[in-house]
Amino acid sequence: MRKTSDIINHQSSIINGFLLSFFLAFAAACSPITFTIGGDPLHNVLEKKVVSHDTGWTSDEVAIIDVSGMIYNSSESGLLGSGENPVGTLHEKLELAAKDVHIKSVILRLNTPGGTVTASDAMYREVMRFKQQTHKPVVALCMDVTASGGYYLACAADRIVAYPTSVTGSIGVIVQTVSIKPALERWGVKAEAIVSGPNKETGSPLTVMTESQRQVLQSIVDNFYGRFKAIVTENRPNLATDKLAYITDGRVFTGDEALSLGIVDQLGDVYDAWTTAKKLAGIDHANLTLYHRPTKFVNSPYAASPMQPDHGAQVRVDLDLPTPGATFYYLWQPGQP
């Protein structure tokens, strides 16, 4: 006969398992969400693995470097752990590629709607610095979405390859502000700020924006927009300049449309990008390699899911909530109000 304590422990295990399943099912409804279990990825040194062998023997390599998700210069936070800083991770991978004599060129695989203005510019500068110091060519590969800040980053590449079904473009700047002052007043809540000047609380959700404050933000948007257009025209020699206003009005394009406008150089997939990277490096054969954390299983060029940043092993919940306050973005985010 089973002991009473054994029965209680068994029942507790069933209840705990049910509660965990319920929590996971409930949390899955909050998209996007990620659950991984293990240690802190920030202590995992990047490794390199050959994910596709070229014909014949060769010691030369073309490295894939992934940039996925939102671009910003901070570590993602989550339940019981923190993720990676996208800018820092790109720097880390480029440093490895620069020091590795076997790597002759890089494929920058992009699947990102963009992000903050400064983080996008920082990543662009990292790639440009890598090219100047190593003279190793860089090919940008546009996956599902390479828009706004993602395209800004792609402009640092020597050549841009896009899937025909890619969405790219969205050349522009946005700063989203929200005013909750009218709602607070309806509930009898009064918010006051002591400021040093009339434009000090520009963008605050606790006030209604004045025309003067709007002009302040608009001038900054115009400045960042001009910088974006300059990056595009400087790095895209085949751009249809007679359609520049159309190309840079913030709209997105499919890969086919982007090719016809000179936004990208060719249509193709990861293997076409591989071939192009070898040609630019002046070599006929090179294996395809991929950087990854030790905890991540890598067995093919598609092993690193383009839609999920490589966070390593941890427990995380990402609710994708907007950052409070007014922030300037090179970002295409049609799902947000």
Predicted confidence (pLDDT) per residue in 53-65, tens digit: 999 889 999 999 9
153 within a domain of the structure (yes/no):
yes
251 shares its domain with 281: yes
Same domain membership, residue 139 and residue 62: yes
17-37 average pLDDT score:
44
Q: What is the pLDDT of residue 300?
A: 76
CATH number for position 247: 3.90.226.10
- 136 CB-near residues (< 8 Å, 6+ apart): 97, 98, 103, 104, 105, 106, 130, 281
Q: Are residues 154 and 183 in the same domain?
A: yes
> What local confidence, expressed as pLDDT, does residue 32 receive?
45
Q: Which residue has the higher pLDDT, 191 or 67?
A: 67
- Is 115 found in the same domain as 8? no
Asked whether the beta carbons of 159 and 273 are under 8 A apart, the reply is no
159 and 17 in a common domain: no
Long-range contacts of residues 154-157, Cβ cutoff 8 Å, at least 24 apart? 154/108, 154/110, 155/124, 155/231, 155/232, 155/234, 155/235, 155/236, 156/108, 156/123, 156/124, 156/127, 156/128, 156/131, 156/235, 157/108, 157/127
**In terms of residue numbers, what domain contains 1?**
1-30
Does 267 map to a domain?
yes
pLDDT given at position 305: 47
**Lowest mean pLDDT: which of 70-79, 206-215, 240-249?**
70-79
Pick 307 or 140 by higher pLDDT. Answer: 140
60 & 206 share domain: yes
Residues with Cβ within 8 Å of 88's Cβ and at least 6 positions away in sequence, in order, are: 75
Task: Sheet containing 114-116: give its strands across.
Answer: 114-116, 328-331, 174-175
Does residue 100 have a pLDDT over 90? yes
Q: Are 76 and 311 in contact (CB under 8 A)?
A: yes
Same domain, 260 and 121: yes
pLDDT tens digits for range 310-332:
443 333 333 343 444 457 888 88
Mean pLDDT over the full length of the chain: 80
Residue 336 within any structural domain of the chain: no
Same domain, 10 and 120: no
pTM: 0.78
Q: What is the distance, to the nearest Å, from the Cα of residue 175 to the centroid of all Cα atoms in its chain?
A: 18
Look at residue 79 and tell me whether its pLDDT is greater than 60: no
Q: Does the residue 35 lie in any domain?
A: no
pLDDT in tens, 139-195: 999 999 999 999 999 999 999 999 999 999 999 998 887 777 788 778 888 777 787
Whether residue 50 is found in the same domain as residue 14:
no
Lowest mean pLDDT among 218-232, 257-271, 279-293, 318-332: 318-332
Cβ atoms of 281 and 41 within 8 Å: the answer is: no
With a cut of 60, say whether residue 93 has pLDDT above it. Answer: yes
Report pLDDT for 134.
98
